[in-house]
Structure 1
Amino acid sequence: MLDPATAAERLRKQEIIMIDVRTEREWRSGTARGAHTITLGDPRMAAMVLGLAEEDTSRPVVVICRSGMRSGQAAKQLVAAGFTDVSNVKGGMMAWGAANLPIMPYRG
């Protein structure tokens, strides 16, 4: 688990790939600046993340949802798909917003 501030700093430095696994309806309230949007239920999620990681399963991936539950499931799926460095943002977007970290509009 990563706290939101650490995740935001690592994202800003482009040290991680962040995936927001919420639904499109939830994304409309804003996403973490720099995060990629891939719904947890998308059967192509692992393949899409692999593409973002340029086929490197050792690239650090951080997942986020509303509160941390779905991102925990997503992290397990990514580890099962062979990713070796996967973290979950503690408290999800609720904690991200409470910490006043950068949020950008969803650009569907």
Structure 2
Amino acid sequence: MGLFDRLFGGGKPAIPQIDPATANDRLRKKQLVLIDVRTESEWQDGVPKGAHMVTLGDPRMADKIYGYMKEDASKPVAVICRSGMRSGRAAKLLAGAGFTDVSNVRGGMMAWRSANLPVKPYRK
């Protein structure tokens, strides 16, 4: 978004980025809900411990996440994917659906694993 758009209201503000270590710390303290928006085949490699899984392509994504947040769209939610691209799109969709505290985990699962953060095996 260019300067003109920022000055004259063209578009929404950028989604905040959160680093994986901060996301994990806030998740452990129950200060945010973490959503893994990768595909089921990607989940086979493991999921962040404590995360909920909803694919980006799920037409009920926002409804499911709203349920995980105990129907409080103001609760903090962070979104993660493989590298941060899909989760950025998911975060924008959630913000557009009325979620007021949405962030994107910078670097996705690649950064999560690089930081040696906890991963659990995937179970349906």
Same fold by TM (over 0.5)? yes
SS at match of 2:78: strand
- Residue 59 of structure 1 aligns with an amino acid whose one-letter code is K
Is the radius of gyration larger for structure 1 or structure 2?
A: 2
Match of 1:90 in 2: 106
Q: Distance in 2 between matches of 1:37 and 1:57?
A: 18
Deviation at 1:54, TM superposition (A): 1.4
Normalising by structure 1, what TM-score? Answer: 0.99
Give 3-state SS (helix, strand or coil) of 1:87's partner: strand
Residue 100 in structure 1 maps to residue 116 in structure 2: yes
DSSP 3-state at the match of 2:35: strand
1:36 aligns with 2:48: no
Counterpart code for 1:6: T
Equivalent residue runs for 1:57-96 within 5 Å:
57-96=73-112
Aligned length: 108
Code of the residue aligned with 1:46 in structure 2: it is A
Structure 2 CA distance for aligned equivalents of residues 16 and 56 of structure 1 = 12
Quote how far apart the aligned CAs of 1:53 are: 1.1
Structure 1 ranges of 4+ moved more than 6 A: none
Mapped to 2, the partners of 1:55 and 1:12 lie a distance apart of 20
SS of 1:62's equivalent in the other structure is strand
Q: CA deviation at 1:24?
A: 0.3
Choose between structure 1 and 2 for higher RCO, CA contacts under 8 A separated by at least 6 residues: 1
Consecutive unaligned residues of structure 2, counting only runs of 5 or more, are 1-16
**TM-score of the superposed pair, with normalisation by structure 2:** 0.86
Identity of aligned residues (%): 66
Partners in 2 of 1:6 and 1:51 — Cα distance?
Answer: 23
Superposition CA RMSD, Å: 0.4
- Quote the offset at 1:14 in angstroms: 0.8
